[in-house]
Amino acid sequence: MAANRWFIDSETGVLTDVLLCPPDYYEWIPSNDIAIQTMAHGGSIDRTTLHSQFDELVSTLKGADVSCHFLTPHKDMPYEVYTRDSSQTTPFGTVVTSLSRAERVGEEKEIRTFYAPDEIWRTCTAGRIEGGDIHIIRPGLLAVGVSGGRTDTKGAAEFISWFEEAGWTCRMIHFPEHFLHLDVIFCMVAENLAIAAVDVLDEADLEWFREQGIRILPVTYREAMRDMGCNVLALGRDRVVSPRHSTRINAMLRAEGLNVLDPELNQFSRGGGSIHCMTMPLRRQSLQTA
């Protein structure tokens, strides 16, 4: 049945299918603090390296037995490469999100051309919410980041309500807008193990994660913002994709026994996004049946 083709119930189940978009029209634009700082210091994209890095990411994923699916890039969508934001796979079907920035609103039409109509479970209509703020941590547990910018309280509350109706434990995680999305300062790397900018997250939120049995490895503010160091992708079976330039974080993850796959992605991180932003998991093996 087509409606059951895509499914995830966690951030850490074995990843089998993922959605990406080639960076044919990717640009750094002054729409986030990271890109603004990069451009202010004279940075410019090396397009040959950009495409080489994207190809390395795709090769890394395929080498880990992940099937890669692709959106069609469009000239007027410079951040379409960050497929995490325009939709969200759930245990109940796909959700089309509500993008905030004017240069990204057109992505909704394109994302609807990828999914079959009966695969779309819900469409977000209250406020704004983007996939980088949505963390389906494990079956029954959801966290949604709220900065007031990319995701606002109304958008988060609507999304959370659908999961609460199904009996899930949910929490809004509030943080300053210049961090863009929750996945800039928090990401799961393995079951019950995360990395986070612990000096940014509120102590009450850190305690909530601890109460859920999630152990957090610390990432600094500089690593999070300069390197997009928290923006990683768990593949399941103790494997994680993390940028090559995040040397200290990668060493920390390896010390935890994780297999770190480390493509270079600095042409993307300098524009305000990295591996987690560039990948929307379409299907993971359920943690309930693993």
Just give the CATH number of 15-284.
Answer: 3.75.10.10
Residue 1 has pLDDT above 50, yes or no: no
What confidence tens digit (pLDDT) does each residue in 239-289 have?
999 999 999 999 999 999 999 999 999 888 776 689 999 999 999 999 987
Rg, the chain, Cα only? 17
Distance CA 158, CA 127 (A): 8
One-letter amino acid of 12: T
228: left (phi over 0), alpha (psi -120 to 50) or beta: left
When the pLDDT of each residue in the chain is averaged and rounded to a whole number, the result is: 92
Distance CA 244, CA 62 (A): 18
- The pLDDT of 227-244, averaged and rounded, is 96
What confidence tens digit (pLDDT) does each residue in 62-93 have?
999 999 999 999 999 989 999 999 999 999 99
Q: Length of the chain in residues, anyone?
A: 290
Distance CA 185, CA 224 (A): 6
- What are the residue boundaries of the structural domains of the chain, listed by start? 15-284
Distance CA 163, CA 183 (A): 20
* Cβ–Cβ < 8 Å for 182, 144: yes
What confidence tens digit (pLDDT) does each residue in 129-186 have?
999 999 999 999 999 999 998 999 999 999 999 999 999 999 999 999 989 899 999 9
What confidence tens digit (pLDDT) does each residue in 2-24 have?
446 899 999 999 999 999 999 99
235 or 290: whose pLDDT is higher? Answer: 235
Q: What is this structure's pTM?
A: 0.93
Nearby residues of 99 by Cβ (< 8 Å), 6 or more positions away: 85, 86, 105, 107, 108, 128, 130
- The pLDDT of 100-106, averaged and rounded, is 87
Residue 290 has pLDDT above 70, yes or no: no
